[in-house]
Amino acid sequence: MSALTYDEFGPFKVIEVYEPSVNLRGTLVVDNVARGASIGGVRMAPDVSTEECFRLARAMTFKNAAADLPHGGGKSVLYGDPAMPPRQKEELVRAFACALEEVEQYIFGPDMGTDEECMGWVRDEIGRAVGLPREIGGIPLDEIGATGWGLLHAIKVACEHQERDLAGTTVAIQGFGAVGKHTARFLAEEGAIIVAAADIDGTVSCAEGLDVDKLLAIKEENGPVIGYPEGPGVSKGDAESIIDVPCDIWVPAARPDVIREDNVERLQTSMVVSGANIPMTPGAEKILHERGVLCIPDFIANAGGVICAAMEYQGASEAAAMDIIAEKLTYNVRRVLDIVRSEDCLPRQAAEDMAHRRVRRAMGLRRWRLF
């Protein structure tokens, strides 16, 4: 286990799980449950460190607090290739759920590499999961695009702040999975022009705009975005080349730390709205701010998924959850940008101060502060 830095907020609990009979290895970080049981996704990947899992859990603590949800922050990582054979994946997910059955401070949700079906397996084993399939009474947040729906409303408020119309605005989306593809769909419906999309296999771009329906059809067949048809103005490159595509809005919607001090100068945009968790290093975000690029922090902009999960946990309908997402994202982004305007600070600083106050107030009502 790698060394972690502990502070006033946590982490409260770090658990590593190992069961060689099924090649199970996983990590759970429950960061802070002062506001209630933590909600956080199960990320399936072969290369996520304990330190990264903690950073993701901390982002969930602040995200849930900023969204004013009665939940703390947690995150878990199941080590493995999410494209493994379905029977093997089901066995691993079920085993991981059983290993963490007694950790009642953590509620499983979907994340990169896991989906509604995986959450159905978790619920079957331990009865504690959100983002469930409709067939068992859930709200399939990835299927309906809950995070992308929230990003749309965050972007609308950010466009108002910059006094620009969303219609006609050019957008590049780095990561075209559950978050990215729905974000593209919602933005295109509002008249935005998607000029670039990237996934793990490469980047496709076109200054005149890509046909979002064609991109969605390719992903529906599990194809890469570089499978997009050739045509006038269409260019293709490696996955990182999307950083070089000029656009008005750049949306990271994949892995952490894709924008760093060593590549941030390549970005040619006036706004970054984070669909992924911790997609930029703090240093890179500061550089962008100093260049006049508006950066809407991850735990503010991409809260749609966890808001939907919390609403499902409370028994709300899908329609009610989508309405709450729009309401909370609009209010929170507007509140953060009002603070930025009045105090001349980084958006992240304004957002973190807001989240910190809410978590500290909850901790002050607890006997042991963190739990």
Q: pLDDT band for position 371 (50/70/90)?
A: confident
Of 63, 75, 89, 219, the catalytic one is 75
pLDDT, tens digit (0-9, with 9 covering 90-100), for 182-230:
999 999 999 999 999 999 999 999 999 999 999 999 999 999 999 999 9
pLDDT digits (tens, 9 = 90+) for 30-86: 999 999 999 999 999 999 999 999 999 999 999 999 999 999 999 999 999 999 999
Distance (Å, whole) CA 36 – CA 71: 4
The answer to whether the beta carbons of residues 248 and 294 sit under 8 Å apart is no
Residue 1 has pLDDT above 70, yes or no: no
Distance set, CA 75 to CA 61, 138, 310, 335 (Å): 10, 20, 15, 27
Query: Does the annotation mark 328 as catalytic?
Result: no
Between CA 19 and CA 324 the distance in angstroms is 40
pLDDT of residue 2: 53
pLDDT at residue 156 is higher than 90: yes
Domain annotation for the chain: domains and CATH numbers: 13-60+74-138 (3.40.50.10860), 146-304+332-354 (3.40.50.720)
Share of the chain above pLDDT 70, in %: 99
pLDDT, mean of residues 172-180: 96
Q: What pLDDT is attached to residue 145?
A: 96
pTM of the predicted protein model: 0.93
What average pLDDT does this structure show over 125-144? 95
Residue 3 predicted with pLDDT over 90: no
Percent of the chain at pLDDT exceeding 90: 96
